[in-house]
Amino acid sequence: MEYMSKSILEIHEDLKAKKVTSKELIEEATKKAKEVQEKYNAFVTILEDVKPVEEIKTMLSGIPYGVKDNYSTKGVLSTGSSNTLKDYVPFFTATAIQNLEKQGAVMVGKTVLDEFGMGGTGTTGHTGIVKNPWDTSRMCAGSSAGSACSVASGVYPYATGSDTGDSIRKPAAYCGIVGYKPTYGMISRYGLFPFTSSLDHCGVLTRNVQDAAIVVDAMKGIDKNDMTSWDSSSIHLYDSIDGCVEGKKICYIKEICDIENYPNATEELKEHLENFKKTIALAKELGMLVEEVHVDQTLLNAIASCYVVISCAEATSNMSNLTGFIFGPRGEGKNYIEMMKDYRTKGFSPLIKRRFVIGSYVLQKENKDRYFFNAQRVRRLLVDTWKKLYETYDAVLLPVGSGPAKKPEESKEILDENTQVLEEHLQVGNFGGFPSITIPNGFIHGLPVACNITSNCYEDSTALNIAYALESKMNYKNQIAKEGD
């Protein structure tokens, strides 16, 4: 009997009915993790001798899960998928993980990411490329690549992720699962290795919407160690999911969804946008009011560069603590500057170094207004535009990416100007700190594609409810990746 491919609720019922024990679940998860590691390279660490939790007090008690390797976990290697921290074993645990532990959740592995979450391919971790479980010639997208891959492969029902631009929601889409990042500050960032503090969100990857709500209910909470966290004790996400969406108003943006905007569209893109129309139809069937809205194309085109400027600037500063003096392998040299240079030169991948250079450049006195402050202004304009939409609509519904998972040679790092807005619009969710959830909404050539629902801040339950209602009308709930299907 396989349990790890079930939903959290189902496993929880089986545990309560004593059909299975936590110990057996861990054995199954560990065994699967090793298989998945062999095939797709999703893990930095698969834990040995994991202690089971047999007392079933909460819905997460005794159930195995995975943790993205940029969460600090006490006594367990936490690398951020970077050579700079390849041997780093923290002495404290991230608040979000501690909260899961308090609920009896059982961590069985640490998953691969793009180095420090910087990258959208799942190919830049120091342990190598994470392969897509639906087609190993393709990428998972990133940066939560290992978490997406392992959940989609049925190693366990959920894994934590982090999302700075789309790092939960994009890989979830390419792996055919659910990816959810709640409102900024709902989950404490204490213990999450920072990439862009003003954009970083903790979140989760699951195989259905209810599971996502259950896990975030456990992870969230105000934290004295994170000043940007807030008290959400009156919010109960799982309980608020009732499937009632009749009369909800949602919108989609013409400039992003209309095939007419993409004169050189590939067959995949055409299919993807055609498929998205089906999701709109479903929403209408569910009694939701769906309307097309316009957003200034110039503003939309600025999303990507705005993101690059802000994320690189903050990242340069956030990663200045990586010097090799206090932690990490100490570099060699005659003085501290040489030692630091040696450590950073050897430790960081070229992609990250490039971003550091951009970050430094845009913060320099003579460039700061032109780049950094202008990016802040664009960010404000975008957030205001979305906020304006939320005055009328409960959520914005949009397709994720320009189709299914890509091959490494078509890497997202090579920006395709034509479809750039489609690829990058999820970043608005980070600019505004909006709750945002991606669910699978179809297949193209046997590969999953997805749509995304983003609501206004603190309206997490609205986004979850709409996602849940749509999910219930489609056949992709709880799907497990099948190679070459």
Partner 1 sequence: MEYKVLIGLEMHCEISKTNTKVFSSAKNGYNNAPNTNIRPVDMAFPGTLPVLNKEAVKKALMASMMLSCTQPEYLCFERKNYYYPDLPKGYQITQETKPAPIGMYGKLVYECKDELKTVRINNIHLEEDAASTDHYTSVSKIDYNRAGVPLLELVTEPDFRSAEEAVAFLETMRSNYQYADISEADSKKGQIRCDVNVSIMEASLDESNPENWGTKVEVKNVNSFGGVRDAINYEIKRQIELKENGTYDSMEQQTRRWDEESGTTIYMRDKVDAIDYKYFIDPNIPKLKLDPLWLEEIRKEIPVLAFERKQKYMQEYGLSNYDATNLVKEKEISEYYEECISYGVSPKSACNWITSIILGHINKYELKITDIFVTPKMLADLIQVLEKGDISSKQAKEVLYDSLKEDKEPLKIIEEKGIRQIGNDEEILKIVKEVFVENKEAKEQYKSGKTNIVDFLVGQVMKKTRGKANPAMAMQFIKEELER
Residue type, 178: V
Residue 313 touching partner 1 (CB under 8 A): yes
How far is residue 476's CA from residue 281's CA, in Å, rounded to a whole number? 17
Q: Strand 135-139 relative to strand 158-163: parallel, antiparallel, unpaired?
A: unpaired
Residue 350 CB neighbour total at 10 angstroms? 8
How far is residue 150's CA from residue 326's CA, in Å, rounded to a whole number? 33
Residue 21 CB neighbour total at 10 angstroms? 15
437 neighbors 164 (Cβ within 8 angstroms): no
Residue 136, SS3 per DSSP: strand
Of 22, 153, 232, 316, the one binding partner 1 (CB under 8 A) is 316
Min dist. Cβ of residue 82 to partner 1 (A): 10
Contacts with partner 1 by CB under 8 A: the residue count is 45
Residue 468 touching partner 1 (CB under 8 A): no
What binding mask, one character per residue, do residues 196-235 give for partner 1 by CB under 8 A, x or -? xxx-------------------------xxxxx-------
Task: Output the CA torsion 130→133→137→140 (10° steps).
Answer: -50
In this chain, which stretch among 294-302, 319-327, 442-450, 460-468 interacts with partner 1, using CB under 8 A?
319-327
Residue 454, SS3 per DSSP: strand
CA 184, 10, 42, 73 torsion-angle sign: positive
For partner 1, the closer CB: 38 or 366 = 366
Q: Render the burial of 468-481: b for 16+ CB within 10 Å, e for the rest.
A: bbbbeebebbbbbb
Closest to 344 in 3D by CA, of 356, 334, 335, 358: 356
Of 119, 133, 165, 191, the one binding partner 1 (CB under 8 A) is 191
Min dist. Cβ of residue 184 to partner 1 (A): 10
Of 56, 76, 94, 451, the one binding partner 1 (CB under 8 A) is 94
Min dist. Cβ of residue 102 to partner 1 (A): 18
159 neighbors 66 (Cβ within 8 angstroms): yes
Please give the positions annotated as active site.
68, 143, 167
Of 31, 35, 92, 267, the one binding partner 1 (CB under 8 A) is 92
Min dist. Cβ of residue 353 to partner 1 (A): 15
What binding mask, one character per residue, do residues 354-393 give for partner 1 by CB under 8 A, x or -? ------x--xxx--x---x---------------------
Min dist. Cβ of residue 27 to partner 1 (A): 31
Of 266, 321, 392, 475, the one binding partner 1 (CB under 8 A) is 321
Cis peptide before 360 (omega within 30 of 0): no
Question: Phi, psi (5° rounding) for residue 290?
Answer: -115, 130
For partner 1, the closer CB: 322 or 352 = 322
Of 62, 64, 66, 90, the one binding partner 1 (CB under 8 A) is 90
Residue 407 CB neighbour total at 10 angstroms? 11
Of 71, 371, 443, 468, the one binding partner 1 (CB under 8 A) is 71
Residue 458 touching partner 1 (CB under 8 A): no
- Which residues 329-348 are close enough to bind partner 1 by CB under 8 A? 336-337, 340
The three-point CA angle 354-316-192 to 5° equals: 115
Q: Which pair of structure tokens corresponds to residue 237?
A: 């996400």
Residue type, 34: K
How far is residue 265's CA from residue 102's CA, in Å, rounded to a whole number? 49
Of 64, 80, 122, 440, the one binding partner 1 (CB under 8 A) is 80
For partner 1, the closer CB: 297 or 317 = 317
Q: Which residues bind partner 1 (CB under 8 A)?
A: 71-72, 78, 80, 85, 88, 90-92, 94, 189-194, 196-198, 224-228, 313-314, 316-317, 319-323, 325-327, 336-337, 340, 360, 363-365, 368, 372
